[in-house]
Amino acid sequence: MRQHVNPLSRIHQLARPLPPLIELFADPSLPLHLDIGSARGRFLLAMAPLAPQRNHLGLEIRRPLVEAAEADRRRDGLANLRFLYGNANVNLPEWLAQLSPGQLELVTLQFPDPWFKLRHRKRRVLQPALLLAIAAALAPGRRLFLQSDVEALIAPMRQLVEASGAFELAGPEECGPTVNPLPVATEREAQVLAEGKPVHRSLYRRSTAPLPPLADLEAHLEPTTRGVDNRHDAEAD
Ligand SMILES: C[S@@+](CC[C@H](N)C(=O)[O-])C[C@H]1O[C@@H](n2cnc3c(N)ncnc32)[C@H](O)[C@@H]1O
């Protein structure tokens, strides 16, 4: 199976509305954990029984992974877990806007695909419009958790979150290179840790600050021709 899917390809740009919570979960009123890029689903398959007080939704752009994860979920009889095919950038903003206020409790974005090249930056999953949609759906105090083994990729994600002015960073006692606020490691995380490599983590809480206009956030992040992206352009060619 191909490792990377181009999220900008026409097939993944189709507007396919995601089903409402009432069609997904036995108790749709529970608080929601959204995992973006859930891959084969093992992280949420382990999280859902540990956190039965929440519903867990995994969104993944590779359809065969979604099908395999859903088969495991049915086998395990987990009524508070679902996996859906979708492109986070295309399908999530409208869906997030329809959630009841306060329902979204936690968003996890862990080890996103490493699109290093500057010219591929639009393929990276955390784009300004998606961040604003997440921030608009998270009530004050609710959490956004980011992880990556690639410092050059988590740096622009942190920069974007911080430029929005809408989040507060949790302290090192709660989250850091050796402290994961969640009880389960993702597949990629387990692999990175087994190789003895560092994991970069940031936990944010939504503040009460209003959101900036999308154009302001995009302008703030206009890439320059300098910096880490170009170093990786050479490596990733
Ligand atoms: C490197 S994997 C990490 C998977 C998992 N989060 C982990 O930590 O083991 C990134 C996943 O995000 C998915 N993905 C990439 N872009 C996406 C998008 N726009 N919408 C939804 N999923 C996406 C990929 O297909 C892939 O399964």
The CATH number of residue 78's host domain is: 3.40.50.150
- 216 is known to lie in a ligand binding site: no
Domain assignment of residue 56, yes or no: yes
From CA 26, how far away is CA 28, in angstroms rounded?
A: 6
At residue 136, the pLDDT reads: 98
- 60 is known to lie in a ligand binding site: yes
At residue 50, the pLDDT reads: 98
Domain assignment of residue 129, yes or no: yes
Domain assignment of residue 75, yes or no: yes
Q: Candidates 91, 92, 125, 131: which one to mutate for ligand 1, based on the most atoms within 8 Å of Cβ?
A: 125
By annotation, the residues acting in catalysis are 113
From CA 41, how far away is CA 186, in angstroms rounded?
A: 9
Domain assignment of residue 20, yes or no: no
Which ranges constitute the DSSP H helices of the chain? 42-50, 63-76, 88-97, 128-137, 151-164, 187-194, 214-220, 228-236
- 149 is known to lie in a ligand binding site: yes
Q: Candidates 18, 34, 47, 60: which one to mutate for ligand 1, based on the most atoms within 8 Å of Cβ?
A: 60
Closest residue by Cα to residue 231 from 130, 149, 59, 116: 116
Q: What's the pLDDT tens digit per position in 31-83?
A: 999 999 999 999 999 999 999 999 999 999 999 999 999 999 999 999 999 99
Q: Which range scores top for mean pLDDT: 1-10, 96-105, 116-125?
A: 96-105
| pLDDT beyond 90 at 11 | no
Rounded distance from Cα 113 to ligand 1 centre (Å): 6
Domain of residue 144: give its range: 28-236
Rounded distance from Cα 1 to ligand 1 centre (Å): 14
Q: How many structural domains are present in the chain?
A: 1
| pLDDT beyond 80 at 113 | yes
Query: Measuring from atom 1 of ligand 1, which residue has the nearest CA?
Result: 113
Question: How far does the chain reach from its first CA to its final CA, in angstroms?
Answer: 21
| pLDDT beyond 80 at 232 | no
Domain assignment of residue 7, yes or no: no
Domain assignment of residue 1, yes or no: no
**Residues lining ligand 1, CB < 6 A?**
5, 7, 36-37, 39, 59-62, 87-89, 110-113, 125, 186-189
Which atom of ligand 1 has the smallest separation from the CA of 190? 9
pTM of the model: 0.93
Domain assignment of residue 22, yes or no: no
- 91 is known to lie in a ligand binding site: no
Domain assignment of residue 59, yes or no: yes
- The number of helix segments (H) and strand segments (E) in the chain equals 8, 7
